[in-house]
Amino acid sequence: MNPPVKLDLRARTELLAFLVESQLLARFVGGDWLTIENVVEFERIWLAANRGDADWFERVSISSWSQTLAERVEVNLPVAFGVGSAAASENPRVGFRATLVRMVNDMCLGHLVEMGWFMNGRLRSRDGQAP
């Protein structure tokens, strides 16, 4: 069995997008955001399914941004949940053809870059320099 792999920018973006979409689905179906316990569990599920490895700071940071970013997306939900949306479908499948999925992925990538977390694929320190 292969050992877990450290997350690169693409994997971090996918993890954050997965958590944001999970937040939105919980809000859409149940009316409430995910609990902290739910977010941690979804994060663990994603990391196990994708053989990802992240330290505690990285996991806490990514998971803490999920609700904030989901709240930004929620403002645009009437547009994002169009007829072709996976959430509006009888057979919902997440894929990059869905407008909402592309929008969330692009927003998550932009957020990670805007936060200054990455330089040459590596986590930046607080002063913006590569460690």
In a domain, 31, yes or no: yes
Q: Residue 84 above 70 pLDDT?
A: no
- Provide the strand spans (E) within the chain: 5-6, 52-53, 118-119, 122-123
- Bridge partners (DSSP) listed for residue 118: 123
Q: What pLDDT is attached to residue 117? A: 67
CA distance linking residue 41 with residue 26, whole number of Å: 14
In a domain, 117, yes or no: yes
In a domain, 131, yes or no: no
Domain that holds residue 84: 5-123
In a domain, 43, yes or no: yes
Please tell me the total count of domains within the chain: 1
Which span out of 27-31, 36-40, 45-49, 89-93 was modeled with the highest average pLDDT?
A: 36-40
Q: How would residue 97 be classed by pLDDT, with cut points 50, 70 and 90?
A: low
Q: Which residues contact 111 (CB under 8 A, 6 or more apart)?
A: 16, 65, 69
Determine which of 9-13, 22-26, 88-92 has the lowest per-residue pLDDT on average: 88-92
In a domain, 128, yes or no: no
In a domain, 130, yes or no: no
